[in-house]
Structure 1
Amino acid sequence: MGPDTAAVELIGVRRQYGKGDRAVHALRGIDLSLPHGSFTAVMGPSGSGKSTFLQCAAGLDRPTAGSIRLGGTEITGLGENRLTELRRSRLGFVFQAFNLLPSLTVEQNVLLPLRLAGHRPDRRRAAEVLGRVGLGDKGARRPGELSGGQQQRVAIARALVTRPDVIFGDEPTGALDTTTAAEVLTLLRDAVDQLGATVVMVTHDPVAAGYADRVVFLADGRLVATLPRSTPAAIGARMTQLAAPAAGHAGQYAGAVA
Protein backbone atom coordinates (compact mmCIF):
# COMPACT_ATOMS: atom_id res chain seq x y z
CA MET A 1 0.00 0.00 0.00
CA GLY A 2 1.84 3.05 -1.24
CA PRO A 3 1.63 6.50 0.36
CA ASP A 4 -0.46 7.81 -2.53
CA THR A 5 -3.02 5.01 -2.30
CA ALA A 6 -6.50 6.27 -1.46
CA ALA A 7 -8.14 4.89 1.67
CA VAL A 8 -11.41 4.42 -0.21
CA GLU A 9 -11.83 4.55 -3.98
CA LEU A 10 -15.01 4.05 -5.99
CA ILE A 11 -14.77 3.91 -9.78
CA GLY A 12 -17.93 3.86 -11.87
CA VAL A 13 -19.90 2.20 -9.08
CA ARG A 14 -23.50 1.34 -9.91
CA ARG A 15 -26.01 -0.55 -7.81
CA GLN A 16 -29.29 -1.71 -9.26
CA TYR A 17 -32.01 -3.65 -7.47
CA GLY A 18 -34.48 -5.61 -9.55
CA LYS A 19 -34.77 -5.73 -13.33
CA GLY A 20 -36.72 -4.25 -16.18
CA ASP A 21 -39.49 -1.79 -15.37
CA ARG A 22 -39.15 -2.50 -11.66
CA ALA A 23 -35.43 -1.76 -11.51
CA VAL A 24 -34.31 0.67 -8.84
CA HIS A 25 -31.05 2.47 -9.63
CA ALA A 26 -29.69 3.22 -6.16
CA LEU A 27 -26.24 4.29 -7.44
CA ARG A 28 -25.75 5.55 -10.98
CA GLY A 29 -21.99 5.66 -11.52
CA ILE A 30 -20.10 7.01 -8.50
CA ASP A 31 -16.47 8.13 -8.90
CA LEU A 32 -14.88 9.16 -5.63
CA SER A 33 -11.45 8.95 -4.01
CA LEU A 34 -10.99 9.58 -0.28
CA PRO A 35 -7.45 10.10 1.03
CA HIS A 36 -6.01 8.53 4.15
CA GLY A 37 -6.45 10.63 7.29
CA SER A 38 -9.56 12.40 6.04
CA PHE A 39 -13.07 12.85 7.44
CA THR A 40 -15.81 12.75 4.80
CA ALA A 41 -19.52 13.30 5.42
CA VAL A 42 -22.02 11.87 2.92
CA MET A 43 -25.34 13.69 2.67
CA GLY A 44 -28.36 13.76 0.42
CA PRO A 45 -32.14 13.73 0.38
CA SER A 46 -34.02 10.61 1.42
CA GLY A 47 -33.62 7.96 -1.26
CA SER A 48 -30.48 9.57 -2.69
CA GLY A 49 -28.37 6.42 -2.28
CA LYS A 50 -26.46 7.30 0.91
CA SER A 51 -26.99 3.97 2.65
CA THR A 52 -26.26 1.99 -0.51
CA PHE A 53 -23.08 4.03 -0.99
CA LEU A 54 -21.91 3.19 2.53
CA GLN A 55 -22.79 -0.50 2.22
CA CYS A 56 -20.96 -0.86 -1.10
CA ALA A 57 -17.91 1.13 0.04
CA ALA A 58 -17.64 -1.02 3.17
CA GLY A 59 -18.01 -4.32 1.32
CA LEU A 60 -21.40 -5.04 2.93
CA ASP A 61 -23.16 -5.00 -0.45
CA ARG A 62 -21.83 -5.76 -3.91
CA PRO A 63 -22.13 -3.19 -6.69
CA THR A 64 -23.82 -4.14 -9.95
CA ALA A 65 -20.93 -2.55 -11.86
CA GLY A 66 -17.74 -0.65 -11.15
CA SER A 67 -14.78 -1.08 -8.85
CA ILE A 68 -14.23 -0.46 -5.13
CA ARG A 69 -10.80 -0.38 -3.50
CA LEU A 70 -10.01 -0.15 0.20
CA GLY A 71 -6.41 0.83 0.87
CA GLY A 72 -5.52 -0.21 -2.66
CA THR A 73 -7.15 -3.66 -2.29
CA GLU A 74 -9.74 -4.39 -4.96
CA ILE A 75 -12.70 -5.76 -2.99
CA THR A 76 -15.32 -6.01 -5.73
CA GLY A 77 -14.46 -9.57 -6.72
CA LEU A 78 -13.48 -10.95 -3.32
CA GLY A 79 -15.21 -14.03 -1.97
CA GLU A 80 -17.44 -13.72 1.07
CA ASN A 81 -14.90 -15.26 3.48
CA ARG A 82 -12.14 -12.92 2.35
CA LEU A 83 -14.51 -9.94 2.50
CA THR A 84 -15.55 -10.84 6.04
CA GLU A 85 -11.90 -11.15 7.06
CA LEU A 86 -11.11 -7.75 5.54
CA ARG A 87 -14.06 -6.06 7.29
CA ARG A 88 -13.05 -7.54 10.65
CA SER A 89 -9.38 -6.61 10.43
CA ARG A 90 -9.28 -3.37 8.43
CA LEU A 91 -12.63 -1.64 8.91
CA GLY A 92 -14.45 -0.16 11.89
CA PHE A 93 -18.17 0.52 12.10
CA VAL A 94 -20.26 2.93 14.19
CA PHE A 95 -24.04 2.70 13.77
CA GLN A 96 -26.95 4.81 14.96
CA ALA A 97 -28.21 1.94 17.15
CA PHE A 98 -24.78 1.33 18.82
CA ASN A 99 -25.07 -2.46 18.13
CA LEU A 100 -23.45 -3.48 21.40
CA LEU A 101 -24.06 -6.95 22.84
CA PRO A 102 -25.95 -6.43 26.13
CA SER A 103 -24.71 -9.66 27.75
CA LEU A 104 -21.05 -8.70 27.35
CA THR A 105 -19.14 -6.18 29.43
CA VAL A 106 -17.93 -2.95 27.87
CA GLU A 107 -14.41 -4.38 27.66
CA GLN A 108 -15.67 -7.58 26.01
CA ASN A 109 -17.67 -5.55 23.47
CA VAL A 110 -14.57 -3.53 22.60
CA LEU A 111 -12.47 -6.67 22.21
CA LEU A 112 -15.05 -8.45 20.04
CA PRO A 113 -13.50 -7.42 16.68
CA LEU A 114 -10.15 -8.88 17.78
CA ARG A 115 -11.82 -12.15 18.80
CA LEU A 116 -13.76 -12.33 15.54
CA ALA A 117 -10.56 -11.70 13.58
CA GLY A 118 -8.91 -14.62 15.40
CA HIS A 119 -6.54 -12.48 17.49
CA ARG A 120 -5.89 -12.89 21.17
CA PRO A 121 -7.91 -10.32 23.15
CA ASP A 122 -5.51 -7.56 24.15
CA ARG A 123 -6.85 -6.07 27.38
CA ARG A 124 -4.22 -3.35 27.38
CA ARG A 125 -5.41 -2.28 23.94
CA ALA A 126 -9.01 -2.26 25.19
CA ALA A 127 -7.99 -0.09 28.15
CA GLU A 128 -6.12 2.24 25.78
CA VAL A 129 -9.08 2.86 23.44
CA LEU A 130 -11.57 3.09 26.30
CA GLY A 131 -9.32 5.69 27.92
CA ARG A 132 -9.21 7.58 24.65
CA VAL A 133 -13.01 7.86 24.56
CA GLY A 134 -13.21 8.81 28.24
CA LEU A 135 -14.51 5.48 29.56
CA GLY A 136 -11.37 4.08 31.15
CA ASP A 137 -13.27 3.22 34.34
CA LYS A 138 -16.27 1.56 32.66
CA GLY A 139 -14.74 -1.66 31.26
CA ALA A 140 -16.54 -3.98 33.70
CA ARG A 141 -19.99 -2.41 33.18
CA ARG A 142 -22.71 -3.75 30.90
CA PRO A 143 -23.99 -1.52 28.05
CA GLY A 144 -27.41 -1.27 29.73
CA GLU A 145 -25.80 0.54 32.67
CA LEU A 146 -24.52 3.33 30.40
CA SER A 147 -26.17 6.35 28.80
CA GLY A 148 -26.73 6.45 25.05
CA GLY A 149 -23.75 8.73 24.59
CA GLN A 150 -21.53 6.43 26.62
CA GLN A 151 -22.71 3.44 24.59
CA GLN A 152 -21.77 5.22 21.36
CA ARG A 153 -18.34 5.95 22.86
CA VAL A 154 -17.97 2.22 23.49
CA ALA A 155 -18.89 1.64 19.84
CA ILE A 156 -16.17 4.11 18.77
CA ALA A 157 -13.64 2.35 21.01
CA ARG A 158 -14.69 -0.95 19.42
CA ALA A 159 -14.23 0.59 15.96
CA LEU A 160 -10.73 1.80 16.89
CA VAL A 161 -9.46 -1.35 18.57
CA THR A 162 -8.11 -3.05 15.42
CA ARG A 163 -6.44 0.19 14.19
CA PRO A 164 -8.62 0.03 11.05
CA ASP A 165 -7.85 1.64 7.71
CA VAL A 166 -11.33 3.16 7.56
CA ILE A 167 -14.13 3.81 10.05
CA PHE A 168 -17.61 3.88 8.52
CA GLY A 169 -20.33 5.72 10.43
CA ASP A 170 -24.02 5.35 9.60
CA GLU A 171 -25.90 8.23 11.29
CA PRO A 172 -23.68 7.77 14.38
CA THR A 173 -25.31 10.71 16.20
CA GLY A 174 -28.88 10.04 15.03
CA ALA A 175 -30.05 8.76 18.44
CA LEU A 176 -28.18 11.32 20.58
CA ASP A 177 -29.00 14.75 21.97
CA THR A 178 -27.11 17.77 20.67
CA THR A 179 -24.50 17.95 23.45
CA THR A 180 -23.77 14.23 23.41
CA ALA A 181 -23.63 14.22 19.62
CA ALA A 182 -20.99 16.96 19.73
CA GLU A 183 -18.86 14.85 22.11
CA VAL A 184 -19.10 11.81 19.80
CA LEU A 185 -18.27 13.87 16.70
CA THR A 186 -15.26 15.37 18.48
CA LEU A 187 -14.02 11.83 19.17
CA LEU A 188 -14.34 10.93 15.48
CA ARG A 189 -12.58 14.18 14.53
CA ASP A 190 -9.78 13.37 17.02
CA ALA A 191 -9.44 9.87 15.55
CA VAL A 192 -8.65 11.53 12.22
CA ASP A 193 -6.43 14.33 13.55
CA GLN A 194 -4.53 12.40 16.24
CA LEU A 195 -4.59 8.78 15.07
CA GLY A 196 -4.57 9.33 11.30
CA ALA A 197 -7.82 7.40 10.91
CA THR A 198 -10.05 7.77 7.85
CA VAL A 199 -13.73 8.38 8.66
CA VAL A 200 -16.63 8.13 6.21
CA MET A 201 -19.93 9.16 7.80
CA VAL A 202 -23.44 9.19 6.39
CA THR A 203 -25.51 11.84 8.13
CA HIS A 204 -28.61 13.98 7.60
CA ASP A 205 -27.40 16.57 10.13
CA PRO A 206 -25.57 19.65 8.80
CA VAL A 207 -24.06 20.24 12.26
CA ALA A 208 -22.52 16.75 12.23
CA ALA A 209 -21.29 17.26 8.66
CA GLY A 210 -19.57 20.45 9.81
CA TYR A 211 -16.98 18.30 11.61
CA ALA A 212 -15.85 16.73 8.32
CA ASP A 213 -13.04 17.87 6.02
CA ARG A 214 -15.45 17.73 3.13
CA VAL A 215 -19.08 16.92 2.47
CA VAL A 216 -20.18 14.97 -0.60
CA PHE A 217 -23.79 15.21 -1.69
CA LEU A 218 -25.74 12.48 -3.42
CA ALA A 219 -29.02 12.94 -5.26
CA ASP A 220 -30.85 10.27 -7.23
CA GLY A 221 -27.87 7.92 -7.00
CA ARG A 222 -25.35 10.42 -8.35
CA LEU A 223 -22.60 12.48 -6.76
CA VAL A 224 -23.84 15.99 -7.46
CA ALA A 225 -21.74 18.32 -5.28
CA THR A 226 -18.92 18.54 -2.78
CA LEU A 227 -18.09 21.19 -0.23
CA PRO A 228 -14.77 21.58 1.58
CA ARG A 229 -15.06 21.96 5.36
CA SER A 230 -18.02 24.27 5.79
CA THR A 231 -20.35 25.76 8.37
CA PRO A 232 -23.58 23.95 9.22
CA ALA A 233 -25.48 26.88 7.67
CA ALA A 234 -23.69 26.51 4.32
CA ILE A 235 -24.16 22.74 4.38
CA GLY A 236 -27.84 23.11 5.28
CA ALA A 237 -28.35 25.59 2.45
CA ARG A 238 -26.85 23.17 -0.06
CA MET A 239 -29.04 20.36 1.28
CA THR A 240 -32.12 22.57 0.89
CA GLN A 241 -31.17 23.25 -2.73
CA LEU A 242 -30.75 19.55 -3.43
CA ALA A 243 -34.02 18.64 -1.78
CA ALA A 244 -35.91 21.23 -3.82
CA PRO A 245 -38.12 19.57 -6.43
CA ALA A 246 -36.84 21.84 -9.20
CA ALA A 247 -36.38 19.85 -12.40
CA GLY A 248 -32.86 19.21 -13.52
CA HIS A 249 -31.14 20.09 -10.25
CA ALA A 250 -28.72 17.19 -10.65
CA GLY A 251 -27.31 18.74 -13.80
CA GLN A 252 -27.32 22.14 -12.17
CA TYR A 253 -25.01 20.96 -9.40
CA ALA A 254 -22.87 18.58 -11.41
CA GLY A 255 -20.50 21.44 -12.12
CA ALA A 256 -19.94 21.92 -8.41
CA VAL A 257 -18.31 18.52 -7.97
CA ALA A 258 -14.72 19.06 -6.90
Structure 2
Amino acid sequence: MRLRKGGNRHDAGERPQARDGSALAVELRGVRRQYGRGAGAVHALAGIDLALPRGTFTAVMGPSGSGKSTFLQCAAGLDRPSAGSVRLGGTEITGMRENRLTELRRSRLGFVFQAFNLLPSLTVEQNVLLPMRLAARRADRRRAADVLGQVGLADKARCRPGELSGGQQQRVAIARALITSPDVIFADEPTGALDTGTAAEVLGLLRRAVDALGATVVMVTHDPAAAAWADRVLFLADGVFAGGLEGGSPEQITARMAALTSRPGALAEAAA
Protein backbone atom coordinates (compact mmCIF):
# COMPACT_ATOMS: atom_id res chain seq x y z
CA MET A 1 0.00 0.00 0.00
CA ARG A 2 1.35 3.42 -0.95
CA LEU A 3 2.35 5.70 1.90
CA ARG A 4 0.33 8.87 2.13
CA LYS A 5 2.20 11.97 1.04
CA GLY A 6 2.26 14.82 3.50
CA GLY A 7 2.20 14.34 7.25
CA ASN A 8 5.87 13.81 8.00
CA ARG A 9 7.14 15.53 4.89
CA HIS A 10 9.34 18.56 5.40
CA ASP A 11 7.87 21.87 4.33
CA ALA A 12 10.13 23.95 2.07
CA GLY A 13 11.18 26.15 4.99
CA GLU A 14 11.89 23.23 7.30
CA ARG A 15 14.20 21.09 5.17
CA PRO A 16 17.55 20.34 6.79
CA GLN A 17 20.30 22.37 5.19
CA ALA A 18 23.36 21.09 3.37
CA ARG A 19 26.73 21.23 5.08
CA ASP A 20 27.50 24.69 3.68
CA GLY A 21 24.04 26.01 4.59
CA SER A 22 22.51 25.50 1.15
CA ALA A 23 18.96 24.16 0.91
CA LEU A 24 19.79 22.46 -2.42
CA ALA A 25 20.85 18.82 -2.49
CA VAL A 26 21.64 18.65 -6.22
CA GLU A 27 22.38 21.50 -8.61
CA LEU A 28 23.36 21.16 -12.27
CA ARG A 29 24.06 24.21 -14.43
CA GLY A 30 24.66 23.96 -18.17
CA VAL A 31 25.75 20.33 -17.90
CA ARG A 32 26.71 18.71 -21.18
CA ARG A 33 28.20 15.30 -21.85
CA GLN A 34 29.60 14.47 -25.24
CA TYR A 35 31.10 11.16 -26.34
CA GLY A 36 33.38 11.20 -29.38
CA ARG A 37 34.16 14.05 -31.74
CA GLY A 38 33.16 15.40 -35.10
CA ALA A 39 30.23 14.07 -37.09
CA GLY A 40 30.09 10.90 -34.99
CA ALA A 41 29.82 12.70 -31.65
CA VAL A 42 27.01 11.69 -29.35
CA HIS A 43 25.51 14.46 -27.21
CA ALA A 44 24.16 12.39 -24.29
CA LEU A 45 23.39 15.56 -22.29
CA ALA A 46 22.76 18.72 -24.27
CA GLY A 47 22.58 21.36 -21.54
CA ILE A 48 20.97 20.39 -18.24
CA ASP A 49 19.85 22.95 -15.66
CA LEU A 50 18.37 21.50 -12.49
CA ALA A 51 18.04 22.43 -8.82
CA LEU A 52 16.63 19.87 -6.36
CA PRO A 53 15.87 20.91 -2.76
CA ARG A 54 16.84 18.71 0.14
CA GLY A 55 14.18 16.41 1.52
CA THR A 56 12.56 15.70 -1.85
CA PHE A 57 11.97 12.61 -3.99
CA THR A 58 12.53 13.16 -7.71
CA ALA A 59 12.00 10.60 -10.48
CA VAL A 60 13.62 10.95 -13.90
CA MET A 61 11.99 9.20 -16.85
CA GLY A 62 12.58 9.05 -20.57
CA PRO A 63 12.78 6.71 -23.55
CA SER A 64 15.77 4.46 -24.14
CA GLY A 65 18.79 6.54 -25.13
CA SER A 66 17.33 9.73 -23.68
CA GLY A 67 20.33 10.34 -21.39
CA LYS A 68 18.88 9.07 -18.09
CA SER A 69 21.91 6.99 -17.10
CA THR A 70 24.34 9.70 -18.18
CA PHE A 71 22.39 12.25 -16.16
CA LEU A 72 22.58 10.10 -13.04
CA GLN A 73 26.28 9.35 -13.51
CA CYS A 74 27.16 13.03 -13.94
CA ALA A 75 24.90 14.18 -11.08
CA ALA A 76 26.42 11.57 -8.75
CA GLY A 77 30.02 12.26 -9.69
CA LEU A 78 30.45 8.86 -11.35
CA ASP A 79 31.17 10.54 -14.70
CA ARG A 80 32.56 13.96 -15.53
CA PRO A 81 30.53 16.33 -17.72
CA SER A 82 32.12 17.79 -20.82
CA ALA A 83 30.89 21.23 -19.73
CA GLY A 84 28.88 22.81 -16.96
CA SER A 85 28.79 22.67 -13.18
CA VAL A 86 27.59 20.07 -10.66
CA ARG A 87 27.10 20.77 -6.95
CA LEU A 88 26.12 18.16 -4.37
CA GLY A 89 25.02 19.24 -0.92
CA GLY A 90 26.42 22.69 -1.67
CA THR A 91 29.84 21.32 -2.71
CA GLU A 92 31.15 22.01 -6.20
CA ILE A 93 32.40 18.67 -7.59
CA THR A 94 33.21 19.77 -11.14
CA GLY A 95 36.96 19.46 -11.58
CA MET A 96 37.40 17.86 -8.16
CA ARG A 97 40.38 15.50 -7.95
CA GLU A 98 39.46 11.85 -8.24
CA ASN A 99 40.62 10.93 -4.72
CA ARG A 100 38.52 13.70 -3.18
CA LEU A 101 35.56 12.79 -5.38
CA THR A 102 35.83 9.16 -4.29
CA GLU A 103 35.89 10.26 -0.65
CA LEU A 104 32.81 12.43 -1.19
CA ARG A 105 30.88 9.61 -2.85
CA ARG A 106 31.72 7.23 0.00
CA SER A 107 30.82 9.58 2.82
CA ARG A 108 28.05 11.82 1.48
CA LEU A 109 26.20 9.86 -1.20
CA GLY A 110 24.14 6.68 -1.16
CA PHE A 111 23.52 4.39 -4.12
CA VAL A 112 20.82 1.82 -4.88
CA PHE A 113 21.11 -0.15 -8.12
CA GLN A 114 18.91 -2.63 -9.95
CA ALA A 115 21.45 -5.42 -9.43
CA PHE A 116 21.72 -4.83 -5.62
CA ASN A 117 25.57 -4.98 -5.79
CA LEU A 118 25.96 -6.78 -2.47
CA LEU A 119 29.14 -8.73 -1.73
CA PRO A 120 28.12 -12.39 -1.37
CA SER A 121 30.98 -13.28 0.99
CA LEU A 122 29.97 -10.64 3.56
CA THR A 123 27.08 -10.79 6.00
CA VAL A 124 24.16 -8.39 5.72
CA GLU A 125 25.61 -6.29 8.56
CA GLN A 126 29.04 -6.19 6.89
CA ASN A 127 27.51 -5.14 3.56
CA VAL A 128 25.62 -2.33 5.27
CA LEU A 129 28.74 -1.14 7.08
CA LEU A 130 30.91 -1.23 3.95
CA PRO A 131 30.54 2.49 3.07
CA MET A 132 31.76 3.42 6.55
CA ARG A 133 34.76 1.12 6.24
CA LEU A 134 35.62 2.44 2.78
CA ALA A 135 35.38 6.00 4.10
CA ALA A 136 37.80 5.06 6.91
CA ARG A 137 35.13 5.68 9.53
CA ARG A 138 34.48 3.58 12.59
CA ALA A 139 32.11 0.74 11.76
CA ASP A 140 29.15 1.62 13.96
CA ARG A 141 27.23 -1.61 14.57
CA ARG A 142 24.51 0.23 16.47
CA ARG A 143 23.94 2.43 13.44
CA ALA A 144 23.83 -0.68 11.24
CA ALA A 145 21.24 -2.27 13.53
CA ASP A 146 19.21 0.94 13.40
CA VAL A 147 19.07 1.17 9.59
CA LEU A 148 18.40 -2.57 9.27
CA GLY A 149 15.49 -2.08 11.64
CA GLN A 150 14.22 0.78 9.48
CA VAL A 151 14.05 -1.52 6.44
CA GLY A 152 12.54 -4.43 8.38
CA LEU A 153 15.62 -6.65 8.46
CA ALA A 154 16.68 -6.40 12.10
CA ASP A 155 16.82 -10.21 12.34
CA LYS A 156 18.91 -10.72 9.16
CA ALA A 157 22.20 -9.09 10.20
CA ARG A 158 24.16 -12.36 10.28
CA CYS A 159 22.71 -13.76 7.03
CA ARG A 160 24.52 -13.79 3.70
CA PRO A 161 22.90 -12.12 0.67
CA GLY A 162 22.35 -15.49 -0.97
CA GLU A 163 20.03 -16.48 1.87
CA LEU A 164 17.68 -13.56 1.16
CA SER A 165 15.00 -12.93 -1.43
CA GLY A 166 15.51 -10.28 -4.12
CA GLY A 167 13.32 -7.83 -2.24
CA GLN A 168 15.25 -8.40 0.98
CA GLN A 169 18.55 -7.87 -0.84
CA GLN A 170 17.30 -4.55 -2.16
CA ARG A 171 16.28 -3.62 1.39
CA VAL A 172 19.88 -4.32 2.43
CA ALA A 173 21.05 -2.04 -0.39
CA ILE A 174 18.77 0.72 0.91
CA ALA A 175 20.10 0.25 4.45
CA ARG A 176 23.64 0.48 3.04
CA ALA A 177 22.68 3.71 1.25
CA LEU A 178 21.32 5.18 4.50
CA ILE A 179 24.21 4.19 6.78
CA THR A 180 26.22 7.42 6.34
CA SER A 181 23.17 9.74 6.45
CA PRO A 182 24.05 10.91 2.92
CA ASP A 183 23.23 14.24 1.30
CA VAL A 184 21.62 12.40 -1.62
CA ILE A 185 20.55 8.84 -2.44
CA PHE A 186 20.81 8.04 -6.14
CA ALA A 187 18.67 5.10 -7.26
CA ASP A 188 19.10 3.58 -10.73
CA GLU A 189 16.09 1.42 -11.69
CA PRO A 190 15.88 0.13 -8.08
CA THR A 191 12.79 -2.00 -8.76
CA GLY A 192 13.73 -3.26 -12.22
CA ALA A 193 14.47 -6.81 -10.97
CA LEU A 194 11.51 -7.06 -8.56
CA ASP A 195 7.91 -8.18 -8.84
CA THR A 196 5.15 -5.60 -8.44
CA GLY A 197 4.40 -6.26 -4.77
CA THR A 198 8.05 -6.31 -3.70
CA ALA A 199 8.75 -3.22 -5.79
CA ALA A 200 6.03 -1.34 -3.90
CA GLU A 201 7.64 -2.30 -0.59
CA VAL A 202 11.05 -1.04 -1.73
CA LEU A 203 9.58 2.21 -3.08
CA GLY A 204 7.73 2.66 0.20
CA LEU A 205 11.07 2.52 2.00
CA LEU A 206 12.55 5.19 -0.26
CA ARG A 207 9.42 7.30 0.28
CA ARG A 208 9.77 6.87 4.05
CA ALA A 209 13.46 7.84 3.88
CA VAL A 210 12.32 11.19 2.44
CA ASP A 211 9.24 11.75 4.60
CA ALA A 212 10.49 10.52 7.97
CA LEU A 213 14.29 10.85 7.73
CA GLY A 214 14.64 13.97 5.58
CA ALA A 215 16.63 12.15 2.91
CA THR A 216 16.87 13.33 -0.69
CA VAL A 217 16.23 10.70 -3.36
CA VAL A 218 16.91 10.99 -7.09
CA MET A 219 15.62 7.94 -8.97
CA VAL A 220 15.97 7.00 -12.62
CA THR A 221 13.20 4.67 -13.76
CA HIS A 222 11.28 3.53 -16.84
CA ASP A 223 8.26 2.48 -14.75
CA PRO A 224 5.38 4.99 -14.33
CA ALA A 225 4.16 3.09 -11.25
CA ALA A 226 7.57 3.58 -9.61
CA ALA A 227 7.78 7.24 -10.67
CA ALA A 228 4.39 7.91 -9.07
CA TRP A 229 5.95 7.50 -5.61
CA ALA A 230 8.04 10.64 -6.22
CA ASP A 231 7.11 14.23 -5.41
CA ARG A 232 8.05 15.26 -8.93
CA VAL A 233 8.64 13.45 -12.22
CA LEU A 234 11.03 14.95 -14.77
CA PHE A 235 11.00 13.81 -18.40
CA LEU A 236 14.29 13.56 -20.29
CA ALA A 237 14.78 13.07 -24.03
CA ASP A 238 17.58 13.83 -26.46
CA GLY A 239 19.72 14.98 -23.55
CA VAL A 240 17.40 17.74 -22.30
CA PHE A 241 14.57 17.95 -19.80
CA ALA A 242 11.20 18.25 -21.48
CA GLY A 243 8.79 19.20 -18.74
CA GLY A 244 7.77 17.72 -15.43
CA LEU A 245 4.80 16.58 -13.42
CA GLU A 246 4.08 17.21 -9.76
CA GLY A 247 2.63 14.26 -7.83
CA GLY A 248 1.17 12.44 -10.82
CA SER A 249 -0.56 9.04 -10.84
CA PRO A 250 0.85 6.18 -12.95
CA GLU A 251 -1.86 6.85 -15.52
CA GLN A 252 -1.05 10.57 -15.71
CA ILE A 253 2.67 9.83 -16.01
CA THR A 254 2.05 7.29 -18.76
CA ALA A 255 -0.13 9.77 -20.63
CA ARG A 256 2.48 12.53 -20.34
CA MET A 257 5.21 10.22 -21.64
CA ALA A 258 3.00 9.21 -24.55
CA ALA A 259 2.21 12.84 -25.37
CA LEU A 260 5.86 13.85 -25.22
CA THR A 261 7.05 11.05 -27.49
CA SER A 262 4.11 10.78 -29.88
CA ARG A 263 5.63 12.77 -32.69
CA PRO A 264 9.01 14.24 -33.75
CA GLY A 265 9.70 17.59 -32.16
CA ALA A 266 7.16 17.20 -29.38
CA LEU A 267 9.83 16.94 -26.70
CA ALA A 268 11.66 19.99 -27.97
CA GLU A 269 8.42 21.96 -27.97
CA ALA A 270 7.62 20.83 -24.40
CA ALA A 271 11.05 21.90 -23.21
CA ALA A 272 10.74 25.36 -24.84
TM-score (structure 1 length as normaliser): 0.97
SS in 1 for 2:144: helix
Residue 270 of structure 2 is matched in structure 1 by 253
What is the CA–CA distance in structure 1 between the aligned matches of 2:264 and 2:229, rounded to whole Å? 31
Aligned positions of 1:158-177 closer than 5 A: 158-177=176-195
Residue 97 of structure 1 is matched in structure 2 by 115
CA deviations on 1:153-193 (whole Å, 9 max, x unpaired) are 00000000000000000000000000000000000000000
- Deviation, 1:120, is 1.2
Does structure 1 residue 207 correspond to structure 2 residue 242?
Answer: no
Segments of 5+ residues of structure 1 without an aligned counterpart are none
Match of 1:60 among 73, 78, 98: 78
Residue 156 of structure 1 is matched in structure 2 by 174
Decide whether the 8 Å contact of 1:8 with 1:57 is kept in 2.
Answer: yes
Decide whether the 8 Å contact of 2:85 with 2:94 is kept in 1.
Answer: yes
SS in 1 for 2:156: coil
Residue 116 of structure 1 is matched in structure 2 by 134
SS in 1 for 2:79: coil
CA deviations on 1:5-25 (whole Å, 9 max, x unpaired) are 310000000000000011000
What is the CA–CA distance in structure 2 between the aligned matches of 1:188 and 1:229, rounded to whole Å? 15
Residue identity in the other structure for 2:198: T
Identity %: 75
What is the CA–CA distance in structure 1 between the aligned matches of 2:89 and 2:183, rounded to whole Å? 7
What is the CA–CA distance in structure 1 between the aligned matches of 2:264 and 2:169, rounded to whole Å? 43
SS in 2 for 1:227: strand
Match of 1:45 among 63, 83, 93: 63
- Deviation, 1:3, is 4.6
Decide whether the 8 Å contact of 1:45 with 1:242 is kept in 2.
Answer: no
TM-score (structure 2 length as normaliser): 0.92
Decide whether the 8 Å contact of 2:261 with 2:267 is kept in 1.
Answer: no
The farther-off stretch of 206-215 and 234-243 is 234-243
Residue 237 of structure 2 is matched in structure 1 by 219
Decide whether the 8 Å contact of 1:219 with 1:242 is kept in 2.
Answer: no
What is the CA–CA distance in structure 1 between the aligned matches of 2:126 and 2:59, rounded to whole Å? 30
Segments of 5+ residues of structure 2 without an aligned counterpart are 1-18
Decide whether the 8 Å contact of 2:20 with 2:91 is kept in 1.
Answer: no
CA deviations on 1:187-225 (whole Å, 9 max, x unpaired) are 000000000000000000000000000000001001111
Residue 182 of structure 1 is matched in structure 2 by 200
SS in 1 for 2:143: helix
Residue 238 of structure 1 is matched in structure 2 by 256
- Deviation, 1:240, is 1.5
Residue 131 of structure 1 is matched in structure 2 by 149
Decide whether the 8 Å contact of 2:22 with 2:90 is kept in 1.
Answer: no
Residue identity in the other structure for 1:44: G
Residue 163 of structure 2 is matched in structure 1 by 145
Tell me the C-alpha RMSD between the 2 structures. Answer: 0.9
Does structure 1 residue 16 correspond to structure 2 residue 46?
Answer: no
Match of 1:29 among 42, 47, 50: 47
- Deviation, 1:94, is 0.1
Change in 2 beyond 3 A, CA 1:120/1:2: closer
Match of 1:229 among 233, 237, 247: 247
Decide whether the 8 Å contact of 2:61 with 2:236 is kept in 1.
Answer: yes
Residue identity in the other structure for 1:79: R
What is the CA–CA distance in structure 2 between the aligned matches of 1:17 and 1:254, rounded to whole Å? 23
What is the CA–CA distance in structure 2 between the aligned matches of 1:113 and 1:3, rounded to whole Å? 24
What is the CA–CA distance in structure 2 between the aligned matches of 1:2 and 1:104, rounded to whole Å? 35
SS in 2 for 1:137: helix
Residue identity in the other structure for 1:250: L
CA deviations on 1:93-133 (whole Å, 9 max, x unpaired) are 00000000000000000000000000111110000000000
